[in-house]
Every structure is written in C-alpha cells, then in structure tokens.
Structure 1
C-alpha cells in the first residue's frame, strides 16, 4: 500500500536489517529519503502505548517511594523496553523513544521524514497510553497521583536534574549505537537485552531524582492527561518541569550521536583508505601519524629485519600489505593480509607504517 502527500511517499513496510535499520547505500541517501514506512509508524504507536501502560501503570499501582518499589518500577520500564523492542524491532527499529529517534537521525540511521513521523506516532502513543491508565486507575487508586509523571525532586536544582537526564539518555543512546547499530557488535539480535538493561540502570539512578524520563515522549502523555483530568489529590509539577525532560534527553541524544562517529566502522575504513600512517601512543592507542614529531617516525622494523637477515615472528620478513591496529585500539580492528596466520599485526612503538586500502 503506497500513497503520496507532497514529496513524502507513505509505504507499508520497507526493507530493513534484522535489527530494523533501513537499508541505504549512503548517509546522504538515508537522510534525504522521502519514503515513510507506515508499518513502522503503527508499530511505534502501539509500542509506546503499551510502554506507558506497563511502566507508568506499575508506578501507579506500587508507587516509587522506597528502594523496593523503585526497583519494581525500574524493572518494569527496563523489561518493557526489552520486550517491546524485541517485538517491533524488525518493523521499525524499536525506538519507542523520540530521543533515540533523534540520536539515530543525527547518526545517519533514520531519514528526516521517518524521524518526524516516528515522533508523531510516539507522541500519540504516549497520550493514548495515559488515557487508558486514567481509566484503570481512578484518582484515589493512583499512588503517584499524576499517572507516573516526571517531577524534579525538591532536593535537586533544575540544572542537576537536567544534567542527570542527559547522562541517562546518553547511556541509552550510546548502548543503542554500540550494540544494535554497529556492524562490529558481537551481540546480534541480543542487542535488545543490553538496551533493556541500560533503561533499567538509568531508572535505578534517576528514580529518586525525578522519576526517570530519558524519554520525552513517555513524559509527555502522563503529564498532560493527569493535569487535564483534575484529580483533587493531583500532585503539581508534571507540566511545570516537563521542559527539563525534553532538554536533558535531547542533549544526551545529541552527544551520543556525535560520540559514535569515532567508533563507527566507516571511521576505520577511512583511516585505512586514506593511506595515512599509524602511530602507537604511549597509552597503547593506534592513531594517524599527522603532526607526529620527527623523532617518532622511525624506520619500519620489517626493513630492519631484512637488513639484519633476521626472521619475523610471523615467519617472513615481507612487509605487510597494510598495517592494522589491534582489536583494543579501534574496537574490532582490521585483519592483516600478511603472514600465514592472517592475524592482525601489533603496533610497533615507536614506528609508523604506510596504510593501503
């Protein structure tokens, strides 16, 4: 089913990877893509509705006033993301959070139009989930008195809450990039487990501070609906503090998107393809040799072995086709084509080597 509105084409289902990342040949193609996957929109709407019901509903039923009840609520939100992201990941990527959608857009994994409509679907899901909660928990039965809205604890200044929310959201988005997005990740479809536990950890950290948002769309629905229903025991503050639960997560999402670029597989490929040299720092990290002092630009030890008539540890004095950093230097590392073993060569310090694609 396909229909078009202006320059935007709405299509039911598009080709995706196992973890829901839209296939595209380039960053530019991904960002300007005008096709919006309507199946992804429906999946995000349903998942956000269920997420608010399960997570905020657990808070409404139990409260979050001490260590035991906070742990219950943290598990509800963490397991909620784990279960729902597993369920819809192959349809939409399982964002269920506009901060994650923003971070993936900035990281070049979601197109602008898909991100915008995902956001709208998530907002509608948050409102619908809060409306359903209103029917389940009358005013007198809601232990939070505000459908689980996020409110800054009076013991914390607004900037402390905002900073904490940015950290919690950064944790979540960082884990998303390093497990679900990175082609070098080893966890495959089990990335969702790590993401769910990241949400759990953020809630353990943030529940005493502000009830834990790290998800502006999750905060929006309960805050608006609880304010509109006007319970006599309604706790003020959900709408007043709502801006914090937008600004903090947005900052965290942006930082995670920027941070992921040095760790992306494309970064390794560019380093090798650039024919630049690699130098091992005293800390053990392999970096390009731009602006390295001359005293560190030593001769290639393979050349030294040939001059001395010695043998290398790989059984050859042939210089490798290209030099690869060890796995600890750039994550996965790049496998050397030299030698019978085919293992990655270690950095020789202090030495620089030419790199070839």
Structure 2
C-alpha cells in the first residue's frame, strides 16, 4: 500500500527568500509576544507564591493558602499550552530557544529563522520579566525575581543533568506531537498537539523545581537574570543554556535518526542515486 503521509523535505540551511516575506516578521512578533506573556504570568506566579509563604512575616503560614509548587508547575505548563495553541499557526509556537535549536537540528527551520527566533524569544523574556518588576518591584527584588539557580544540597552536575533530561522530555514531545506520520494517521493529533507539549512542561517542572527551579528554556532563565541582575542569578547561569541545548540536541537525534530512521533513509537515498 502507498504511504498515507509524506515527510516534508528538509528546510534549506540558509533561506534568503523567507526574510523578504511579511509572514517571517509576523512570526518573529508572535514569538516575542508569546514569550513576553509566558514570562509575565509565570514569574508573577513564582513571586506571588514566595511572597505569600515567606514574605508576609507570618509565623504560621497556611500551606494550602497559595498555589504551591503544583500551582507553579501548572502555571508554566498551562501557559505553554495556551500560547502554543495561539501561535502554532503563525510561528510554530516555539517560545523556547531550546525547542528552536532542536527543530533546527531536525531541519525543520532554517538557520536564519532559528537565530532570529532565539533573539525574539530572549527579548520577549526580558520584556516580560521587566513588566513584572515594574508592577511588583519590592516583591520582585525581595524574592529573587523568579531567577533559576541550583538549590542548596544539589551539585552543579545534578543541576546540569536535570536540565538536560527535562529539555529532552520537552523537545522529544514537540517532535512527536508534530510528526507528519502521526498527523496523517491520527487526524485529531494536530488539534491536540499543544496539550502534550504543555503537559510535558508541567511534569518536568514537578520533577525539577526543587533542583534548579526548572529552566529548560534559556530565554526564561535569561529574562530573570537580566532584570534581577544579581550575582546569585548569574552564578552557574551557563547550566541553563548548555543543559537545554544538549537536551534538545539529544532529543532531535533520537527522534530523527533512531525512531524515524533518518540515517537509514538518507543512506538508502544515496545508494539509489548512485545507481542512476
């Protein structure tokens, strides 16, 4: 039987045509705004939780009175679900340099688009956290601006591994949710794609908030570090870039070359061409 799907061809490494299209700049605006909104809501949630449990000067704080770690995880996962749903048809709904990097390695986006997306995401994150500071300056400074860092009792190596594995889960989910083979076989999957991506973010946050506060998104970590501009926020900041990028690269390799047998397909294509 003929295949019921067709893999799209790899995107050119450098695509000079797309930068002359309005759709490209519309996608950049979408990534900027989505990351701004993502950081605004999530960092506000983190700071609000810390203010409620640590900053009110109460001796006996009702542990059920705030959102808690579970609520923070829901804030991150829920916002990703909402924003991916809103922007998927415009920019692909990356909202994360690590996701963009993984899709670039999988030849889903060009180098120009990948770089510009990352710039837009980082600027959006800085702007989003800047809005939080503008509205909640006292709480923002007092409670660490939602900045990521390796928690006491954990080593740098543990934090790095947590970021690698957490980002692997996220980017692997992105590849799986947007797989053209699955989309063709299960027509309802494209509609549901934002749900598993948001849920992956939620689950990873549950596991890694106690370790690093959960980065898995370099723009998210950069936004808080830049606006807080505190030495503690910059300590070991490299973990929140190296970890997510390594995790994304491993996920891209695993999905494209192990699960989808990209290397075997490429070799088969090469052999067939050599006999023409």
Indicate whether the TM-score tops 0.5. Answer: yes
State the alpha-carbon separation in 2 of the partners of residues 144 and 260 from structure 1: 42
Task: Give the CA RMSD over aligned residues.
Answer: 2.6
The aligned residue for residue 26 of structure 1 is 9
The aligned residue for residue 96 of structure 1 is 95
Q: Which has the higher contact order (CA 8 A, sep 6+)?
A: 2
Once the 2 structures are TM-superposed, how far is the Cα of residue 33 of structure 1 from its aligned partner?
1.5
Where do residues 4-23 of structure 1 align in structure 2 (5 Å cutoff)? Answer: none
Kept in 1: contact 2:32–2:120 (CA 8 A): yes
Q: Does the alignment pair 1:165 with 2:163?
A: yes
The aligned residue for residue 28 of structure 2 is 41
Where do residues 93-242 of structure 1 align in structure 2 (5 Å cutoff)? Answer: 93-139=92-138, 141-142=139-140, 145-185=143-183, 186=186, 187-227=189-229, 236-242=231-237
State the alpha-carbon separation in 2 of the partners of residues 162 and 73 from structure 1: 21
> Is the alpha carbon distance of 1:144 and 1:246 closer, same or farther for their aligned partners in structure 2, counting shifts above 3 Å?
farther
Alpha-carbon displacement from aligned partner over 1:125-181 (angstroms, at most 9, x marks no partner)? 011011100012122x34862210001101100011000100000000000001123
Once the 2 structures are TM-superposed, how far is the Cα of residue 264 of structure 1 from its aligned partner?
2.6
The aligned residue for residue 75 of structure 1 is 74
SS at match of 1:237: helix
Alpha-carbon displacement from aligned partner over 1:311-355 (angstroms, at most 9, x marks no partner)? xxxxxxxxxxxxxxxxxxxxxxxxxxxxxxxxxxxxxxxxxxxxx
The aligned residue for residue 11 of structure 1 is none
Once the 2 structures are TM-superposed, how far is the Cα of residue 62 of structure 1 from its aligned partner?
1.0
Where do residues 40-59 of structure 1 align in structure 2 (5 Å cutoff)? Answer: 40-59=27-46
Alpha-carbon displacement from aligned partner over 1:258-305 (angstroms, at most 9, x marks no partner)? 1112323867867998999xxxxxxxxxxxxxxxxxxxxxxxxxxxxx
More strand by share: 1
> Is the alpha carbon distance of 1:272 and 1:144 closer, same or farther for their aligned partners in structure 2, counting shifts above 3 Å?
farther
Where do residues 332-351 of structure 1 align in structure 2 (5 Å cutoff)? Answer: none
Kept in 1: contact 2:151–2:211 (CA 8 A): yes
State the alpha-carbon separation in 2 of the partners of residues 88 and 255 from structure 1: 25
TM-score under structure 1 length normalisation: 0.63
The aligned residue for residue 246 of structure 2 is 251
State the alpha-carbon separation in 1 of the partners of residues 30 and 246 from structure 2: 26
TM-score under structure 2 length normalisation: 0.81
SS at match of 1:31: coil
Kept in 1: contact 2:129–2:223 (CA 8 A): yes
SS at match of 2:193: helix
Runs of 4+ aligned structure 1 residues displaced above 4 Å come to: 64-68, 265-276
> Is the alpha carbon distance of 1:135 and 1:63 closer, same or farther for their aligned partners in structure 2, counting shifts above 3 Å?
same
State the alpha-carbon separation in 2 of the partners of residues 270 and 248 from structure 1: 29
Kept in 1: contact 2:132–2:140 (CA 8 A): no
State the alpha-carbon separation in 2 of the partners of residues 31 and 252 from structure 1: 21
Kept in 2: contact 1:182–1:264 (CA 8 A): no
